[in-house]
Amino acid sequence: MQPADIARIALVTDPRVSPDGRTVAFVVTHVDVDDNVYRNAVWIAAADGSAPPRPFSAGEHGDGQPVWSPDGRWLAFTSRRGDDRKATLHVAPVDGPGEVRTLCARDEAIEEPAWSPDGSRIAFASRERTSRLDGPDERARPPRRIERLFTRLDGEGWTVDRPRSVFVVPVDGSAAPRVVAGGPFEHGGPAWAPDGATIAVTAARYEDWDVSPLLTDVHLVDPAGASEPRAVTRRTFAHQMPSWSPDGTRIAALAEDARVVHSHSQVVVIDVATGEERVLTAELDRQCLPMPGARSPVWDDDGLLFSCEDHGSVHVRRVPAAGGPSAPVVGGRRWVTGYDAAGGTLVFTATTATSLPDLFVLDPDGSERRLTAVGDVFHAAVPPREPERFTVPSTGGGEIDAWLVRPAEPAGERAPVLLSIHGGPMTQYGESWFDEFQMWTGAGYAVVYCNPHGSTGGTQAWARAIRAPEAEVEPGTGWGGIDADDVLTVLDAALAANPDLDPDRVGVLGGSYGGYLTSWLIGHTDRFVAACSERAVNNLESLEWASDVAGFFRFEIGVDHVRRPDVYRRMSPVTYVQDVRTPVLILHSENDLRCPINQADQLFVALRMLGRPVEYHRFDGESHGLSRNGSPRHRILRAEIILDWFARHLGGRAPARS
């Protein structure tokens, strides 16, 4: 695979089953390099495979988020239409007469559409602009009034004067959307009660929400907006993605204990009358909020379907709503990126390390059928490389999940090696197709990657192992402790077991937390020939002052930076910058709010002043997720820069420029 092949990628996401279980709606995404955009279209397929999948929408406008009407005759979906590219909400008949009907157009994105049980209204979430933003002249606006933390969000910009609210709009287009749960609080996850009399939403609607652990409650909202939301839960967890039981007496949700980070998100069931909660998945001890792949739990008779991470894979499991052990429904070495069930039909989208995501249906006998083949053309043109999975004992106890992908054509008798470190740190690498690994192996590199302590995919204790030693609750080694040891242990094991890998030509790279650990490692060892530190955390103390989630990291580290700045400085790569001798490529986005651009500036300024080899690229108009959802041209250019850098230092093949 070459960087230009990013333009060939097609993805299948967001499967939704019709109420009768006979038809599946889903989204297909293609890359349009010429216009530098992603094209999304809603498609539909017969669940029994009796007819080939077909496009439901044109896909020229960013269509997505399909949701079936209760009678299965209509699909609602979001788009961006018109010359001004406003966010729009539409309904269209699936079969039979009728045309696409536009229900509303907004300046802000429309998210999480949900039909009322009688099919007459749709609830959705969207940001609500305040009067301060009226008028085109920014110089004439009054200043932002800021009284709380968390005023911005990466990829969104300022949110303090754009709170996320829940709206209701009639499907017949007779009225404009009406706010039913509004600012200054942030709301999400609208879910209608079966009788249509109320809507469940999640929000942190309490006075000190910004300076205490962010515990979002489930609230009940009047669809007419005639009364204030009423809390059902009592600041027990951070709840999200609620879904009602068919009889309307219970609400399922995903919930985590935000007082100690990391805490696995669990499936909980809430008694609507009493607010009593039961955690259903604690004994499983796995993260039940995979990214990508998370959605609200799906009620399935007397049980709930949910997805969870497990040692590099994401599976679908079922747990009894009354409590008891969960059982696998969709397993295997793969990553389930979406699922849904209705009318006796369960569908899911899944990817593997060698295949882009496609749509599958699970038959009653447990067999699976693939309904789409969107990635086949791509894989025929760009044959994927299969990773080799292995485990390595950690010095901190337990086994580290690890993988090695060998190069398509080694650049020399022994292959140069790239050690890749994932972000998070509370995420996982695993059994999913990753364009970057395929590009690097295509350039002649062997790629080694793993899930060190601090990652998810295993136990909660494994993920919490890198909290600061000074933490009063669940102390660990701190960032740059057992996590750094683990990735080096995996690298050593891979080199020792594979004499075709060149131990004298090893590079290291990673983004976000992976960029942190890259910067950390080159300040503590000279074993790497070159490094790429991308959108990295280089100064934990200044990050906690300036990030969009400034004030949050104290729950992850275990102490705060105001009272214990020494802890943050000790764990910061810039503290050890004078020991860096490795040539460093720095990549960062101008609009990154999660790891602000000054994180890259600090590393670059220090290395340049010290006369160390460093190269720095800043991407205009991009946020923290450049490598995943940045503009297609920037994604291609970024890949070319990385491959060119390592070709100069490790001897791999330079990329063909687009």
pLDDT of 519 higher than 70: yes
Q: Positive or negative CA dihedral for 331, 334, 337, 340?
A: negative
Query: Residue 59: its pLDDT value, please?
Result: 82
Closest-CA residue to 509 (of 448, 441, 575): 448
Q: Residues 539-552: what's their mean pLDDT?
A: 97
Per-residue pLDDT tens over the stretch 407-447: 988 767 899 999 999 999 999 999 999 999 999 999 999 99
Res 85: pLDDT: 83
Q: How do residues 435-478 score in pLDDT, each as one tens digit?
A: 999 999 999 999 999 999 999 999 999 999 999 999 999 999 99
- Do the beta carbons of residue 212 and residue 205 sit within 8 Å? no
Distance CA(149)–CA(182), nearest Å, equals 18
- The per-residue pLDDT for range 106-151, each reduced to its tens digit, is 999 999 999 999 999 999 999 999 888 888 888 899 999 999 999 9
β-bridge pairing 250-256 and 187-192: unpaired
**Sequence-ordered list of residues with C-beta below 8 angstroms from that of 380, at least 6 positions apart, any chain:** none
- Helix (H, G, I), strand (E, B), or coil: what is residue 638? helix
In eight-state DSSP terms, residue 394 is -
Average pLDDT over every residue of 325-338: 97
Model confidence pLDDT, tens digit, residues 33-81? 999 999 999 999 999 999 999 999 988 889 999 999 999 999 999 999 8
- 379: burial class by Cβ within 10 Å (0-12, 13-18, 19+)? middle
Q: What is the mean pLDDT of residues 203-213?
A: 93
Structure-block tokens of residue 458:
């295993």
| Residue 174 neighbours by CB distance under 10 Å | 8
pLDDT of residue 136: 84
Give the pLDDT band (50/70/90) at residue 511. Answer: very high
Specify the DSSP class assigned to residue 280: S
Contacts 24+ apart (CB under 8 A), 223-226: 223/116, 223/121, 223/123, 223/168, 223/180, 223/192, 223/196, 223/197, 223/198, 223/199, 224/168, 224/178, 224/180, 225/168, 225/178, 225/179, 225/180, 225/181
Determine how many CB atoms are found less than 10 A away from the CB of residue 450: 28
State the average pLDDT for the chain.
96
What is the greatest pairwise CA distance in the chain?
A: 73
The predicted structure's pLDDT at residue 658: 65
Count Cα neighbours of 400 within 13 Å in the Cβ-side half-sphere.
28
CB 269, CB 338: distance < 8 Å: no
Q: What is the DSSP secondary structure assignment for residue 653, as one 8-state letter?
A: P
Residues in the chain: 658
The structure tokens listed for 104 are 């509303």
Res 463: pLDDT:
98
Closest-CA residue to 33 (of 530, 650, 632, 638): 632
- 287 strand-pairing partners: none
The pLDDT tens digits of the residues spanning 273-322 come to 999 999 999 999 999 999 988 999 999 999 999 999 999 999 999 999 99
Q: Facing residues of 44 across strands? A: 25, 54
Contacts of 75 (CB under 8 A, 6+ apart): 25, 42, 44, 56, 66, 67, 68, 69, 91, 92, 94
Cα 337 from chain centre: 10
Element (H, E) at 418: strand 415-421
Instruction: Quote the pTM value.
Output: 0.96
143 CB-side CA count, 13 A: 3
Interatomic CA distance for residues 621 and 79, integer angstroms: 22
Per-residue CA distances from 83 to 64, 80, 86 (Å):
19, 9, 8
Is residue 162's pLDDT more than 70?
A: yes
Q: Examine residue 425 and say whether the peptide bond preceding it is cis (omega within 30 degrees of 0).
A: yes
Asked if 531 and 603 touch (Cβ cutoff 8 Å), the reply is no
**Residue type, position 56, single letter:** F
Residues in Cβ contact with 159 at an 8 Å cutoff, skipping those fewer than 6 apart:
127, 150, 151, 152, 153, 186
Give the pLDDT confidence score for residue 135 in this predicted structure.
81
DSSP, res 282: G
